[in-house]
Amino acid sequence: DAKTTQPNSMESNEEEPVHLPCNHSTISGTDYIHWYRQLPSQGPEYVIHGLTSNVNNRMASLAIAEDRKSSTLILHRATLRDAAVYYCILITGNQFYFGTGTSLTVIP
Amino acid sequence: DVKVTQSSRYLVKRTGEKVFLECVQDMDHENMFWYRQDPGLGLRLIYFSYDVKMKEKGDIPEGYSVSREKKERFSLILESASTNQTSMYLCASSSLDWSSYNEQFFGPGTRLTVL
């Protein structure tokens, strides 16, 4: 059973905000929500994480629904370097459960 | 700069060969992981290790084994390679330190082709 569900692909225009959705309806109370991204020909890299509250860092913002069954990664101004596959992941203990990710295309 | 390195970026082997994929991290991390990545399936965990000589099965351990003789090194072994093991293999490490929030650091991957 998939622990997270994401759209296969999304497009955004450069300099515009991007909202990447993720559903995780079977999340448990102790699961953290992490987002990673994978640039072409590289391994995944950490973007942001949260448990219950919305989070901001220099790369992105994470909005978590009140019931925690969904979350949204927000890139405030997409750049060409943000073109990547974005993974929404549930963390249980030390184990990561990757979905298939969303491939983001940024249009100049 | 933190680093996870993998022994090869590309590897071609024949069916039935024994294959070793090596991963080294320089961050003194306790945890190390091996994933495989296939189109449409995302990343799937093969094995992970919490400590030297410790190993735990992930979601798809069949056909693989691992070895962790030193803290910095985690090896993935394909005892008898098969064509369905053609894939991208990714190694990762993470710290047990609670302040690290389980962030995993990934290597660049090894693309293995089994003919």
How far is CA B37 from each of CA A42, B30, B32, B46, B100, rounded to the nearest angstrom? 12, 23, 16, 10, 25
**Residue range A4-48, pLDDT digits in tens:** 899 999 999 999 999 999 999 888 888 889 999 999 888 999 999
**Residue range B22-50, pLDDT digits in tens:** 999 999 999 999 999 998 888 899 999 99
CA distance B79 to chain A (A): 25
Listed residue (A6, A59, A103, A87) closest to B106, CA to CA: A87
Tell me what pLDDT residue B1 has.
66
Listed residue (B75, B80, B38) closest to B59, CA to CA: B38
Over chain A, what is the mean pLDDT?
Answer: 90
Tell me what pLDDT residue A64 has.
95
Listed residue (A34, A31, A83, A29) closest to B94, CA to CA: A34
Token pair of B75 as six digits = 């090896």
Asked whether the beta carbons of B78 and B46 are under 8 A apart, the reply is no
Q: What are the residue ranges in chain B where pLDDT is below 70? A: 1-2, 98-101
- CA–CA distance, B65 with B23 (Å, rounded to integer): 14
**Cβ neighbours of B57 in A, within 8 Å:** none
**Cβ neighbours of B102 in A, within 8 Å:** 32, 34, 91, 94, 96
